[in-house]
Every structure is written in structure tokens, then in C-alpha cells.
Amino acid sequence: MISSAKPSVPEPFYSNASFYRFVPLSLAYTLVAHFASLLMKPFPCRLSIAPEFPQDRFTIAPRNNLFPAANDNNQGPLAIVTGSNSGIGFETSASLASLGYTVILACRSRDKAMEAVEKINKRIESMSDQGSARGKAVFLAPLDLSSIESVKSFSEAFKEKYSHLNVLVNNAGINTSGVSVDGMDLCYQTNFLGHFLLTRLLLKSLLKAKNFYASGDDVEAGRVVNLSSVTHHFSGCNEARNGGQYFNSSRKHDKKWWNDTSVPGVSDNTYKESKLAALVFSHALNKRFNTEGLVSVAANPGSVDSSIWRHYPPLMQKIHKLIYINEKQGSYTSVASAVGRLPENVLYLQPYWQPFRTLKSKIKDRTRALGFGKRFNVPIPFCEMLGPFIGYAVTEPRLPFDLDESAKDLWDSSSELVGLEK
């Protein structure tokens, strides 16, 4: 049982209820900001949008025998994008394929995945620039992230065919919940635990990969992108759960807190908690495997008019089309996170201009020219819900005070829940 004693120690997160109070502020902010941006268009100080593809990014061409030829036994540059038959995942996959990757569409439905494969490959074939590398989309096996057995089956199918994995984009997600086939909270398992298991099972393949840059000889291993959200700002461990019935006595995002998140009915909003988990998991991966070349980053796509809202009323869907960015724009942070040369120790990208720049660290001029020139402090949440779209920007996320300890507890909790060794 979770203790019913209400904690008194403050934490850096906003309450769940405050999310809805920020919505009108966010709408007002985005209207003012967009109007100001229009007024500034004739002047050189106007906001600039980062390019879809960072200038300094992973190259596809083999070099120094570090990377097999693209057609050598299907062992060229490989990427996996989960939830890629529609929405942000589809656009992310299409962009990676246009850069020369063989992109495996990891989806629940074989039929929908094959339709997406055909659409992406037709788009690639129609591109006028035939001089640069062109990849393709493929389907390997169904992947249902809400099923431990499905994740294991997909991972085995991948390892039987491929020797390495250059990019893994953990994109798939839902914003409704229930109980999974494994008896866990459906949203938390789909959005996070399934991706945790997939990443763990493919770690050896990620560590075997060689990612290098056109601008130099730096070499990385695989890149892991975990999709997060502005809702991570509202995932406090002192938050009352299940209508005020439960309080967390430890006042930490500890192992018990993460365990309880997986239990159906304990939390009434596991979406936001899954998105905080994505951030903390990225930190955990970097802490454990960065010395071996692996890099992980969390990407917030922004407020996107995508298929994730398909269960909402028609009127709400029309409003989303008016004020949200489109699916292509929503893929910018994922693509930049997947292939760009990231500034050191970056953990989080998001797509909106923020009114407050950080004083902690200045990005070198060379990096600024690559699209990562804007670095922001932890935002006030309404500034990250909506606002002027700038593509992608390095931004400090809101994280637990005891991040290393929380990351270890998340790792241990998740390992036990999906049946892996810690």
C-alpha cells in the first residue's frame, strides 16, 4: 500500500490539475507570439526555423571499413521506428529513408505497415535528387508494445536477420489506458515498458553499430530516441493518485513509485508518467553505455495534429488542426535527435521558441549554425505547449532532484516488470 500521509517537501514538478489551468495561458501566449513573429518578418532579428536535417549529421557512405556497404547482405545503415504506419512515426521513417537508411516499420498491423512501406518507397522514388543516397522502408514482423511476448518475438526476428542497429526511435504511443494482456497499465506499458524491453533486447545490436559524421572521424555506436512530451512537467512524485486516495510517502521517484505506475488503477494519468520515464530512461542509457559510444536523447514532438487524437470529438479535432503543428513538423525533433551531431550532454529537444535562454552554457558558433543554436532553460510549461515553431531546440527538461537514483530505480523496476535481469 502507498502511504496516505501527505508529503510536505516541495518538488520541481507542476500538479496534474495545473495542466488545464495552463491551457488558456498557452493559447494566449501562442497568439501573441505568432503576431509578434509576423511583425518581425521584415527585420533580421526574426525567428529562424532550424532545417529538417541538421547540417552535421551521420553520413551513410562507408569509410575506413567501419561501415559495411549498403547492399552487403542487408547490413547497411539500419533504423527502427515504432508506431510508424501513420503520424509522426510515418514522417520520421520517410525522412530517415530519404537520408539513405533502411527503415524497419515496427507496427502492430502487418497490413497497415505494408501500406506505409509502399507510400514511403513511392515518395523516395519520386524524389528528383537521384545523386544522393536513398534508402527504403521495409516491414519485418508485427510489434505490439503492450505485449511482452510480441516485443520478444520482434526482437528475435530482427537479430536473426540483422547484425547491428544504427538508430532506434521509440515513437509509438497512446493517450488512453486500460489493462494490457500482461496485466499492467496499458498506457504505461505501450508508451514506456514495451520500449524499455525493446531497447534492452536490441542493446547488443545498437552497440555494434558504427555511426560517423561527414565532417570528421568521430564515431558513435547506436542512437536511441525516446519520445517524451510537455506533460513530463506534470509528473511529480508527490502528486495524489487515483482521485486523492494515494500519496507517495518516500517523496521520490523511486522504485516503488515506478512499480505502482504500472499497476492499473493506481494512477489516473500514466501518459504523463510514461513521458517522464522516457526522459529518465534516456539519462540511464547514457550513464550506463555512453563510454561504449551509445547516445540516447528524448524528443518532444510538440502539440501535433496526428492520429493520436482520433478518439476525440470531431470539434476538438478541428481545433487541433487550427492550432497544432502538422505531422511533418512534429517529426523534426525526432529526426534531429536520431541523426544530428548533438551538443555535449544534451538530453532533450523540443520544437518551440522559448522566451528564456540559458546562462549556464553557450553553444559554439559552429554548432549554432547546425540548427542547435538555441539552448533554453527549463520552460514554464505553457511556453512548451504551443508557441512559435522553430524546428528543434536544445532545452533543459524538468527532472527528479535525485536523477541518478531515480534512473537506477526506473531501470530496476522496469527490468523486473518485463522479466529481464537488472
As a whole number of angstroms, the distance between CA 94 and CA 123 comes to 8
DSSP 323-351: HSB-HHHHTHHHHHHHHB-PPTT--EEEE
Question: Can you give the pLDDT at residue 247?
Answer: 67
Distances (CA, A) of 63 to 60, 66, 68, 210, 237: 9, 6, 9, 10, 48
Question: Can you give the pLDDT at residue 141?
Answer: 98
Q: Pull the grid cell for residue 155.
A: 526482437
Which residues, in sequence order, are bridge partners of residue 76? none
Which residues, in sequence order, are bridge partners of residue 103? 79, 137
Question: Can you give the pLDDT at residue 62?
Answer: 60
Question: Can you give the pLDDT at residue 296?
Answer: 98
Annotation says 271 is catalytic: yes
As a whole number of angstroms, the distance between CA 107 and CA 18 comes to 34
β-pair type (78-82, 211-212): unpaired
Question: Can you give the pLDDT at residue 39?
Answer: 74
Question: Can you give the pLDDT at residue 63?
Answer: 54
Query: Domains in the chain, ordered, with CATH?
Result: 18-418 (3.40.50.720)
Amino acid at 355: P
pLDDT string in tens for the chain (422-residue length) = 333 344 444 568 998 888 989 989 998 988 888 777 777 666 655 677 899 999 889 988 665 555 544 434 456 899 999 999 999 999 999 999 999 999 999 999 999 999 999 999 999 998 856 556 789 999 999 999 999 999 999 999 999 999 999 999 999 999 889 999 999 999 999 999 999 999 999 999 999 999 999 877 789 999 999 999 999 999 998 877 776 666 676 778 999 999 999 999 999 889 999 999 999 999 999 999 999 999 999 999 999 987 666 777 888 777 777 789 999 999 999 999 999 999 989 999 999 998 877 544 444 434 444 457 678 889 999 999 999 999 999 999 999 999 999 999 999 999 999 999 87
Per-residue 3-state assignment (H helix, E strand, C coil) for 284-314: HHHHHHHHHCCEEEEECCCCECCHHHCCCCH
Cα radius of gyration rounded to whole Å, the chain: 21
Question: Can you give the pLDDT at residue 412?
Answer: 98
Of 162, 188, 271, 392, which one is the catalytic site residue? 271
- Biggest alpha carbon–alpha carbon distance for the chain: 65
Question: Can you give the pLDDT at residue 361?
Answer: 45
Question: Can you give the pLDDT at residue 244?
Answer: 63
